[in-house]
Amino acid sequence: MYFNFQEMSPNQRYVTMTSSVLPRPIAWVLTDNGDESYNLAPFSFFNAICSDPPLLMISIGKKPTGENKDTVTNLIERKQCVIHIAHTEQASSVNETSRTLAHGESELEYVDLGLAEFEGFDLPRIKECRVAYACDLYDIQEVGNAPQSLVFAQIRSVFVNDEIVGKDAKGRAKIEADKLNPLARLGGSEFVENGRIFSVPRPK
């Protein structure tokens, strides 16, 4: 079967892409609403794109009204965010925080999550997450006919729970993927957790 994207609607293309680009990591992004509350939202058009400078990229669509989502608004105004890697036990909380709320209404009011100080950073992190990136806004670019905001976030520091840190064959610190057990996105309403982990040495 072939899918001719030139003959498909944007929604049909979206469904095909999100059902085949699998699995996708999830950025669970906390930003400051500016009124002593925090926005928390998940995005699965997300990945690491550069190590010098260390950049993460998130593609964020608009609200149904066509306005920027609160994550983008908060980043433009306050220039900082914390990007978390959720684990599989948090699937229901991640899903709950995807709802569209009025600006300033915090998703944290709907989930059983705590906040912890992020050492050396202005924003807190989600206490229950095993990995969190303290990030400064690097750039935002608009792309697409129905514009998406490409957010480039520069990593300042990373919190990693000690319980998921081991050592590799060279004695270097290594994050154990099975202990992180990251939640990932599939198509539709489907998520996936880590399955069998195996190693294939790179050719020399």
Let me know if residue 200 belongs to a domain.
Answer: no
- The total of structural domains in the chain comes to 1
Q: How far apart are the first and last CA of the chain?
A: 37
Sign of the alpha-carbon torsion through 23, 180, 101, 38: negative
Q: Which domain holds residue 171?
A: 5-192
Q: How confident is the model at residue 147, as a pLDDT?
A: 86
Cross-strand bridge partners of residue 167: 173
Residues contacting 84, CB < 8 A, separation 6+? 27, 28, 29, 30, 125, 126, 129, 131, 132, 133
Let me know if residue 197 belongs to a domain.
Answer: no
Cross-strand bridge partners of residue 25: 184
Let me know if residue 198 belongs to a domain.
Answer: no
At 178, list the tokens. 């099975």
Let me know if residue 199 belongs to a domain.
Answer: no
Let me know if residue 158 belongs to a domain.
Answer: yes
Separation between Cα atoms, residue 71 and residue 148, nearest integer Å: 13
Residue 126 phi, psi (nearest 5): -70, 120
Separation between Cα atoms, residue 204 and residue 201, nearest integer Å: 9
Tokens 């129905």 belong to which residue? 146
> No. of H helices and E strands in the chain?
4, 14
The pTM assigned to this predicted structure is 0.92
Q: For position 100, which CATH number holds?
A: 2.30.110.10
Q: What is the pLDDT of residues 77-123, one digit of tens each?
A: 999 999 999 999 999 999 999 988 888 889 998 999 999 999 999 99
Q: What is the pLDDT of residues 4-20, one digit of tens each?
A: 999 999 899 989 988 88
Let me know if residue 58 belongs to a domain.
Answer: yes
Q: How confident is the model at residue 203, as a pLDDT?
A: 86
